[in-house]
Amino acid sequence: MAKLPLTYYLQNDVIFIAKDLVGKVLVTKIDDNITSGIITETEAYNGIVDRASHAYGGKITNRNKIMYHKGGVAYVYICYGIHFLFNVVTNIEGIPHAVLIRGIYPYQGIDLMLKRRNLISFSKHLFNGPGKVTKALKIEKIHNGISLTGEKIWIEDVGKLINPQKILSGPRIGIEYAKEDALLPYRFWVDPKEINF
């Protein structure tokens, strides 16, 4: 197992990290149960100059303050009152960069993930969406601020699962309010046709 080291998260190019995380494996160990998925979709949130970011304009609130932490921790928050969304905080302390994990392909503990999502049968398209990812991996608000180099949530590099040339990019989702920044190609994903593990 090759857990990504702290130095990985301290890199300053959040766009590069967002693309690079596609194909890596997000793992959680909750109550001694390991579940994991291959990351298939991400979005970069580029700090204080990004209108779509919670930290736009240097805003600091109780909710988003963890984004200003040194990279390598989780930013988990609630959206639409129902869903937890999981982000990877990157860059050095004081720079609020983050990568939203929007989709995974089940890897380890598939049965448990299906159970957590109240599904009875498996399909590769059942884990495409940030709220579904956190539900399957049981990531919750208590994990906000948790270290990604610890023993509960981490990301592994298990080698080449996805050809970097097969990673697509385009505008982010659900951020129409972000004006011109809504068009930036900060979303990265793999074509489902390329998923054939």
Partner DNA sequence: CGTACGATCTGCT
Partner DNA sequence: GCAGATCGTACGA
Residue 70 or 158 having the CB closest to DNA: 70
Q: Establish if 20 lies at the interface with DNA (CB under 7 A).
A: no
175 C-beta neighbours (distance < 10 Å), count: 20
Q: Closer to DNA by CB, 178 or 195: give it.
A: 178
Tell me if 29 contacts DNA by CB under 7 A: no
Contact 40, 105 (CB under 8 A): yes
Per-residue string for binding with DNA, 133-172, x by CB under 7 A? Answer: --------x------------------------------x
Pick from 130, 139, 155, 184 the residue near DNA by CB under 7 A.
130
Alpha helices, DSSP H, located in 76-148? 110-116, 130-137
Q: What letters, b where the CB count within 10 A reaches 16 and e where it falls short, cover 137-157? A: bbbeeebbebebbeeebbbbb
Q: Cβ 29 to DNA, closest distance in Å?
A: 22
In angstroms, what is the minimal distance from the CB of 120 to DNA? 12
> Minimum CB separation from DNA for residue 103, in Å?
8
Give the DSSP H or E segment for 16.
helix 14-21
Q: Whose CA is closest to 131, among 182, 67, 82, 73?
A: 82
Q: Which residue has the tokens 């579904």?
A: 132
What are the distances in angstroms from CA 34 to CA 96, 107, 153, 155, 158? Answer: 29, 10, 10, 12, 16
Candidate residues 19, 132, 138, 143; the one interacting with DNA per rule CB under 7 A = 132
Site for DNA in 39-98 (CB under 7 A): 43, 45, 52-54, 59, 61-64, 75, 77-83, 85, 87, 98
Contacting positions for DNA (CB under 7 A): 43, 45, 52-54, 59, 61-64, 75, 77-83, 85, 87, 98, 100, 117, 129-132, 141, 172-175, 177
